[in-house]
Structure 1
Amino acid sequence: MTSIFLRLVFGGLIGKILGLAREVLLAALFGAGRAVAANRVAMTATLIPINFFTADALTAGFLPLYVRYRREHPALALALYRTVRALLGAFSLILVAALVLGRRHWVELLAPGLDAATAELAATMLGIAALSVPCYVQYNLYTLVGLAHDDVRLINLRPSVQSLGLIGATVAAYLSGEVVLLAWGFTVPYLLLSGWGAFWVRRRGYLAPASAGASPGAPDGTAAPPPRIAYRVAVGEFWRRLRPLLLIPVILQGSIGVERAVGSLLGVEVVAATEYARFVVDSAMALLAAPLGLAGLASFARLEPEEVTGALRRLLPPVLFVAVPLSLVLCLNSRGIVTLLYARGAFDERAVDVSATLLLGFALGVWAQVIGYTLVKVLNARGANRQVALVMAVSCAAAIVTNLLLFRHWGAITLGVAASVGGLLTFVLSARLLGVLGDCLRLIVVLLPGAAGAAGLGYLLAGPGLPRLIASTAAILLVWIGYPVLVPGLRRTLLSAFWSRARQLVAGRNRT
């Protein structure tokens, strides 16, 4: 798992650097105004229905089952892939038609606070972005086929190509004055990625009838089932795994829709600024939580049940030790970070205020979101999808309730606080279900004095300007890194965990 995780992290760095360049350029050329707000709504309107039907079906339903079939019965793995591909292909075509024909009604429902001109612009952009749906869905399937073979190249390629497309579209929209070109920055990259993904998985032989190079039967020598029976078996087990997850997309995508609707009611600036703030938080999630979760899907699916708890106890201390100072830095320096990244060109003082407020709210729960995301993916890998549905239902419902009850009183920060509340509940519930909540709480109690000291010094040094941002961040990290030196038990726990990860990495390299 460690090797896969590190390859995902380092592979994603280029994509995140390009993503930062994209957001900085968009902020400088278009600020937090009407064009950016319309584009954000159009992207959300495209992704909500896609993820509604495919996100958990692929990562929690398809991948663990495909990994198991590859090991036990390659013929069933191929049957599963072909079945899922056909289902997603049919779904994609229906969704494209629905989005294009109903784009105005969908935008009106999703962002009721937009004025007429901005809503019309969002609907036009949605019609363009909808064309990418078949390619987007198929490329997701290709990335998971690659991941099942411990190949993360397709996953790492996606953010770079997507960011390059958006950068090109941003420049073209600014130079031409046609802001609808922003939407093509999402559609064109996925047309290219889908073609490359198809070429790559076939070139590597991932979809050969017997991937392992043996006969298409099982490792124990039993014959492969006839094709018709193979499809029936694969579809039946896929449906059994997926059925408990059907509630998750309803709640999760509903939470995203409520967040967007509340943002539109708070103002166009909030709609645009939400994604500027989210980019900072999502970068941390993409570089830490998402690789951990995806690596966990592939690795924990191979562990015996009695090995899972021990593996989690070794994994959690270093993850928590990295995630907590990340939250502190983002919380205490939210305004400094937003100013450094975005405050130029059309990104005015009002945009800085709103984005910094949102970032503060989101950052409060980053540490919990990182751990919670990882633990949920471990539950998926173990086939505990009913438990995953419970965790996601409770956490997303809490975020929805927080947004709806408090946005008129707290303003923009409500969006961030609601996400943090959901992340905290995801962490607590998933840790409890996996039997490691007690370990987590004991570790958090030990870390609290160090966190308080780092936060106090970081707060005193925080302020406007790059020197204060650097000073505050450095102080937080120095106190945090130095704290285990004073606590022998914590020092031993962290050294043992990091040493265990290093040995696994070396072992993984030797096997390859």
Structure 2
Amino acid sequence: MSRSNNIARATAVIAVFTLLSKILGFVREMALAYVFGASAATDAYLVAYTVPNVIFAVLGGALTVTAVPLFASYATAGKRDEAWRLFAVFSTLLSAVLLAVVLAGVPLARQIVWLVAPGLPEGTARLAAVLLAVMLPGVLFLSLANLFYGLLNANHIFGPPALGPVVTNVFIIASILAGLRFGIAAVAVGTLLGNIAAMVLQLPYLRRAGFPFRPALEFHHPGLKQAFGLMFPVMIGTGIGQVYLIIDRVLASGLPEGSISALNYASKLILLPQGVIVMALGTAIFPALSNKAASGDDTGFSLTLLRAVKTVLLVALPAGVGLAALREPVVRLLFARGAFDERDAAMTVFALLCFSFGLAGQCLGPVLTRGFYALQDTATPVKVGVCTVGLNLVFSLLLIRPLAHGGLALANSLAATFNVVVLFYLLARKVPGFGVKKALFFAAGTAVASLLAGGAAAFVDGYLAGVLAGGTAVLALRLVMDALAGLLVFAGVCRFLRLDEYLYLEGILRRAFQRGMSFIRARPLYRSR
């Protein structure tokens, strides 16, 4: 099987499980909104979860980015056994450090909550501290799981790592339902159990791949210095990225009750395309980019990365415009029930609008960053990230007064767009033959198609809102018709502009449809008698 087919197959596997995870993630958010709404209890849970989430995001991304290229370099040199030995040492050290963090952090939960959300009311802050003490041990298990994800991906095993978040979401959904009786504390317990389950799921596949499950301490292992040399700059870069979340929590904690929850619900909606397609593509192409960079194949590296950028734009631009155009019916369909009232809906709709402007930036950022990481250049994304965080803080302070929580969302969008523009410029200078003009032309064409499609969807929605009245089923039907109208316009404009990546994907879908129809016609039911 060719390299491109391997990437396509891996992307499909990851996308299927990631789609399932994101569907369950929406079910989780819908259940959270139904049971707790945008309330003080929800704010407390989200503030408490910020701390383990930030630690995991900083470590998790660094672990994956370290594991894939480093394992690939050892495997290419015929040293697979030595690679496994290195990561046995690495996982032992990681476990010891994280255990120390947990033991130190639990007694200081109240102080940590104050640092993250100083504006919370006293009762909400006390509740958040209790929830944090419950969830903080999850950092150990989820970080190990992410290291295992990277090792399995480096061995071209993509299914179990993609399934890990699915398992976590199942546990959290069950705990939210238990929250009807036991309150928000049940959700914290379910989150911890879900993190443990995600790690345990990887163990049999990791053993089968060759990982030695024996504690090992070799502080002078020659690969350890290289691993930390790759890891620490990435940690700084991802840590800088997490400052976005901390800024939002700190500033939103001084806004009216429910602001943190509204930002959370809107961000989950806006990141769906990133989770389903973009992260799946980024994960699948990273081993290929690393191998091409290691072998000095500049042309193959450029073509692979350019195709990834075009694919991301083809998804992210219309998705962002569509969510902006249909923000109100989308929020009402997914969340408007139970404890989630009209005020909660209005706050979430406004946040979704402001987030939608930065969707393309949010989606392209991880792909471009992985391009730098595959080249083992971890410093450039860090430098750009520092500037981006500073810009985000400035925008947040300027916009929070006139736009409240929407200002925080808009600041995030503006900063994400700045981040991608700078990364794209620097990567184009670094990689020969990247095809900047082709990428810019494709982006412009996709933007035109997306705007026209969004206008068509909004027009159809406005018409249907006046003639269709009913409950959830009618609203869902209305959104389906809106989306179909937008999709038809988008496809027509892309064909008219002859956008190459769209035509390529359309050809794949057409051939798949033709094969499916041929298979159906070949069934006995359809044979002439």
Q: TM-score range with shorter-chain normalisation? A: 0.7 to 0.9
Larger mean CA deviation between 241-250 and 354-363 belongs to: 241-250
| CA deviation after TM superposition for structure 1 residue 427, in Å | 2.0
Q: Which has the higher contact order (CA 8 A, sep 6+)?
A: 1
Deviations 1:274-305 (A, max 9, x none): 21111112222110121122112211101123
Structure 1 residue 32 corresponds to structure 2 residue 38: yes
Q: Confirm whether residue 449 of structure 1 aligns to residue 444 of structure 2.
A: no
State the one-letter code of the partner of 1:307. Answer: G
Question: Residue 23 of structure 1 corresponds to which residue in structure 2?
Answer: 29
- Kept in 2: contact 1:247–1:389 (CA 8 A): yes
1:90 to 85, 90, 96: 96
| 1:155/1:397 CA distance change after superposition, 3 Å | farther
Distance in 2, Cα, partners of 1:425 & 1:350:
32
Distance 1:300 1:44 in 2: 32
User: Does structure 2 retain, via aligned residues, the 8 Å contact 1:79–1:230?
Assistant: no
Residue 274 of structure 2 aligns with which residue? 285
Q: Structure 2: give runs of 5+ residues left out of the alignment.
A: 1-6, 429-433, 466-474, 512-529
1:155 has 2:165 as partner = no
CA contact (8 A) 2:161 2:202 kept: no
**Distance 1:312-1:277 versus aligned 2 partners, 3 A rule:** same
Identify the residue that residue 203 of structure 2 maps to in structure 1. 198
* 452, 462, 469: which one aligns with 2:479: 469
Name which of 114, 123, 128 aligns with 2:120: 114
State the alpha-carbon separation in 1 of the partners of residues 250 and 199 from structure 2: 31
Match of 1:207 among 208, 211, 216: 211
Within-5 A mapping of 1:116-131: 116-131=122-137
Task: After TM superposition, give the deviation of residue 244 of structure 1 in Å.
Answer: 3.4
Instruction: Kindly provide the amino acid, as one letter, of the partner of residue 368 in structure 1.
Output: G
Aligned 8 A contact 2:60 2:147 in 1: no
Cross-structure match for 1:220 = none
CA deviation after TM superposition for structure 1 residue 97, in Å: 1.6
1:318 has 2:322 as partner: no
1:63-462 matched pairs, under 5 angstroms: 63-72=68-77, 73-176=79-182, 178-202=183-207, 204-207=208-211, 232-303=221-292, 304-435=297-428, 436=434, 437-462=436-461
SS in structure 2 of the partner of residue 267 of structure 1? coil
Q: CA offsets per residue over residues 19-39 of structure 1, 9 Å max, x none?
A: 222211111111110111111
Q: CA deviation at 1:422?
A: 2.6
Q: Work out whether residues 318 and 451 of structure 2, in 8 Å CA contact, stay in contact via their aligned partners in 1.
A: no
Decide whether the 8 Å contact of 1:64 with 1:301 is kept in 2: yes
Shift of 1:337: 0.5
On the 8 A contact 1:149/1:206 being kept in 2, the answer is no
Give distance in 1, aligned partners of 2:235 and 2:509. Answer: 35
SS in 2 for 1:272: helix
- RMSD of aligned C-alpha atoms? 2.5
Say which SS state the counterpart of residue 462 (structure 1) adopts.
Answer: helix
SS at match of 2:133: helix
Taking a change above 3 Å as real, the CA distance of residues 278 and 449 of structure 1, as seen in their structure-2 partners, is: closer
Q: Distance in 1 between matches of 2:174 and 2:235?
A: 37
Per-residue deviation at 1:400?
A: 2.4
The residue type paired with residue 328 of structure 1 is: V
Measure the CA separation in 2 of the matches of 1:328 and 1:232. 51
Deviation at 1:425, TM superposition (A): 2.1
Say which SS state the counterpart of residue 155 (structure 1) adopts: helix
2:526 corresponding residue in structure 1: none
Whole-angstrom CA distance in 2 between matches of 1:364 and 1:5: 26
Distance apart, 1:144 and its partner CA: 1.3
1:331 is paired with a residue whose SS is helix
Letter matched to residue 295 of structure 1: A
The one-letter code sitting in structure 1 at the alignment partner of 2:446 is L
CA distance in 2 between counterparts of 1:113 and 1:401 reads 19
The residue identity in structure 1 corresponding to 2:362 is Q
Q: Displacement, 1:239?
A: 2.8
C-alpha distance in 2, partners of 1:493/1:7? Answer: 21
CA contact (8 A) 2:74 2:80 kept: yes
- The secondary structure found in structure 2 opposite 1:265 is coil
Q: Does the CA-based 8 Å contact 2:165-2:198 persist in structure 1?
A: no
* TM superposition shift of 1:347: 0.4
Hey, what's the Cα distance between the residues in 1 that align with 2:365 and 2:506?
20
Q: For residues 452-510 of structure 1, what are the alpha-carbon distances to aligned partners after superposition, in whole Å with 9 as ceiling and x for unaligned?
A: 3223323333345445533432222111100123224x3x453347669999xxxxxxx
Could you tell me how far 1:206 is from its partner in structure 2?
2.9
Displacement, 1:126? 0.3
**C-alpha distance in 2 between matches for 1:139 and 1:56:** 11
Distance in 2, matches of 1:487 and 1:310, equals 21
* Preserved CA contact (<8 Å) 2:252 2:405: yes
Whole-Å separation in 2 of the counterparts to 1:365 and 1:246: 23
C-alpha spacing 1:197/1:456, structure 2 compared with 1 (3 Å): closer
Equivalent residue, structure 1, for 2:502: 494
Identity of matched residues, % = 26
Question: What TM-score comes out, normalization by structure 2 length?
Answer: 0.85
What is the CA-CA distance between 1:154 and the residue it aligns to?
A: 2.4
Superposed displacement of residue 314, structure 1: 3.0
1:44 to partner: Cα distance: 0.6
Gaps of 5+ in 1: 210-226, 504-512
| Cα deviation, residue 207, structure 1 | 1.5
Q: Could you tell me whether the CA contact under 8 Å between 1:251 and 1:397 is conserved in 2? A: no
The one-character-per-residue Cα deviations of 1:393-443 (angstroms, maximum 9, x if unpaired) are: 233332222212221121121222122123212321222222144432222
After TM superposition, the structure 1 stretch with the greater mean CA deviation from structure 2, 465-474 or 416-425, is 465-474
- Give the Å deviation of 1:307: 2.0
Contact 2:98–2:140 under 8 Å retained in 1: yes
Shift, 1:94, TM fit? 1.4
Contact 1:135 1:191 in 2 (8 A): yes
Q: Does the aligned pair in 2 maintain the 1:40–1:272 contact within 8 Å?
A: yes
Distance between the aligned counterparts of 2:236 and 2:28, measured in 1?
34
Equivalent-residue separation in structure 2 for 1:403 and 1:310 (angstroms): 37
Residue from 468, 480, 488 that aligns with 1:478: 488
Structure 2: distance between partners of 1:15 and 1:269: 25
Over 3 Å counting, the alpha-carbon distance change for 1:466 and 1:168 in structure 2 is closer
- What SS does structure 2 have at the residue aligned with 1:102? helix
Q: How many residues matched?
A: 481
